Amino acid sequence: MTIGVYDSGVGGLSVWRELRSRVSGHLIYFGDTAHVPFGEKTPEQLSRYFADSLAFFESRGCNSVVVACNTTSAAVLPRIRHLVKLPLIDMIEGAKRAAAAARVKRLGVIATKATVNSGVYQRALEESLPGSRVFMQAAPELVPLVEAGEITGPRVKRALEKYLEPLMAEEIDGLLLGCTHYPFLEEPLTELLAGRAVLIDPALAVTRLALEAWPQVQGSGATTEFWVSSDPEKFEAAAKLILKEELPPVNLRRPPEEDIR
């Protein structure tokens, strides 16, 4: 089985690192870096990028896709999912599961602007956590920092403090990472939360959902090929900083003419 893994850039690697140690078969990671950050794009733009990536995954022989991007999961999938032929796993189902398992009463969620604006996340979480409150916070400065491989230091700390402040004022007891770039900020986040709220990363829950949907891939030793839509060297450098390991050479697959910025 060949599984496509989709994100705007290095964020989806937080899901990929869970997948690769639990699945067999072949993974094709595609970071649409020509269009990062997705959080600043319109649902129409995001739908075009996703449709194009599906065509790419199909052309590479994928028979399923993990949408390792909350923004696409929230702003695109509810509109077009019924049109997609490939079986998909998305982030929202995983987030719901991970949040329910954490048994929190006041859940803070940090996510991109497009995810927050979609309203989809808040509704999904409120439905699956009856009796709990959900507080959404857009955190637009974080994706560019992670894309640059900057995951610690004063700029990261200042940005996180700004986004966590309104959530801490609501006395949250859990913080859900509603963007796949954010798990790479675990260290400064843990420090700032100082035990007052548990950190919830849906990556493992998403991987388990994939294994439930496609039990034939249960195993280990998956191989991966990496693709981006611009600047493979930048992706390789950032991936090395955030994963603390070297990726195999990353391939370039440019976006269609009309989608070049």
Catalytically active residues, by annotation:
69, 179
| Residue of 5, 179, 200, 217 interacting with ligand DGL (CB under 6 A) | 179
Name the residue among 138, 167, 154 with its Cα closest to residue 38.
Answer: 138
Least distance between ligand DGL and beta carbon 81 (Å): 17
Q: Which is nearer to ligand DGL, 36 or 109 (CB)?
A: 36
| Residue of 64, 180, 207, 229 interacting with ligand DGL (CB under 6 A) | 180
CA separation for the pair 177, 110 (Å, rounded): 6
Burial of 37 (0-12, 13-18, 19+ CB in 10 A): buried
Of the candidate spans 65-73, 162-170, 208-216, 227-235, the one that interacts with ligand DGL by CB under 6 A turns out to be: 65-73
Give residue for tokens 């390991």. Answer: 245
Alpha-carbon distance values, 184 to 49, 71, 143, 243, 249 (Å) = 24, 17, 10, 8, 21
Tokens of 147: 């894309």
Least distance between ligand DGL and beta carbon 70 (Å): 4
Least distance between ligand DGL and beta carbon 176 (Å): 12
- Contact flag: residue 11 with ligand DGL (CB under 6 A): yes
Least distance between ligand DGL and beta carbon 218 (Å): 25
The dihedral through the CA atoms of 102, 103, 107, 113 has a sign that is positive
201 phi/psi in degrees, rounded to 5: -110, 120
- Contact flag: residue 230 with ligand DGL (CB under 6 A): no
Of the candidate spans 150-158, 178-186, 220-228, 247-255, the one that interacts with ligand DGL by CB under 6 A turns out to be: 178-186
| Residue of 53, 70, 122, 137 interacting with ligand DGL (CB under 6 A) | 70
Of the candidate spans 69-77, 80-88, 210-218, 248-256, the one that interacts with ligand DGL by CB under 6 A turns out to be: 69-77
| Residues from 106 through 125 that contact ligand DGL (CB under 6 A) | 112, 115
Amino acid identity for residue 146 in this structure:
V
The answer to whether 178 touches 154, Cβ cutoff 8 Å, is no
Give residue for tokens 């309104």. Answer: 166
What does the binding site for ligand DGL look like in residue numbers (CB under 6 A)? 7-8, 11, 36-39, 69-71, 112, 115, 143, 179-181
